[in-house]
Amino acid sequence: MKAIFLISIFFFSTTLFSQKKVMKKFETNLQEIEISTSGLDDFVIENSTSNFIEITLFTENPNEQHILFNTENDFIQLGFVIEELQSEETIFTKFITKRLQRAAVVVKIPKGKKVTIFGENINIESKNYQGSLAVFIDEGIVKFNEVQSETSIKLYEGSIYAMVKNVNIDVTSNIGKIKVDDKLHEKTYQNKLENSHKNFTVTSLKANIYLTTQKTQ
């Protein structure tokens, strides 16, 4: 019998200065996590300092917000439900801006887990997360303070910023700009290292890619 340990131990919601915060915290022995960023503007992933996955949702929308999680085929699924405002003012606001919800999430995950992030128009930042990371989004800004493990990105349009020290690099952007340190490259850039098992791969049609290798002069 397969043992799965998954316990939700903390849920908290508060509103402060027109910004609402919802928190959830749980522990699991499952190693793979899939996250849907639908409804969010910004997403940040960090290393947890404990064995718990900690999720904090911030939004200016006073309506109900929910953090959802489920186990499916030996991996965890995370998602978010953010109810839209339906007043006349909101309808007008929708007409003039795409960012109605002003919703952001910070997720802290124990090191070593494999994380896959899905989304449409979303900004994503990895604050040195030490685990395998895959990002599949249509459009947005993706930032890596420093690539720590196997990392793969598929992005149609937007910008990617990453520090890729001692990492194998394989990036493609058919139309976008590729800049490594201070040098521009057209369409593709590859750099294979003999002593590195970390891979950073990007596949994009129109994204601009800016990489820093911190090469020693």
The region of weakest confidence among 17-21, 38-42, 164-168, 184-188 is: 17-21
Lookup: tokens for 56: 């904090």
Whole-angstrom distance between the N-terminal and C-terminal Cα of the chain? 56
pTM, to two decimals: 0.82
User: Residue 99: its pLDDT value, please?
Assistant: 45
Share of the chain above pLDDT 90, in %: 63
Residue 77 pLDDT exceeds 80: yes
Mean pLDDT of the chain: 83
Sign of CA dihedral 203, 176, 146, 58: negative
**Residue of 155, 156, 153 whose CA lies nearest to 132:** 153
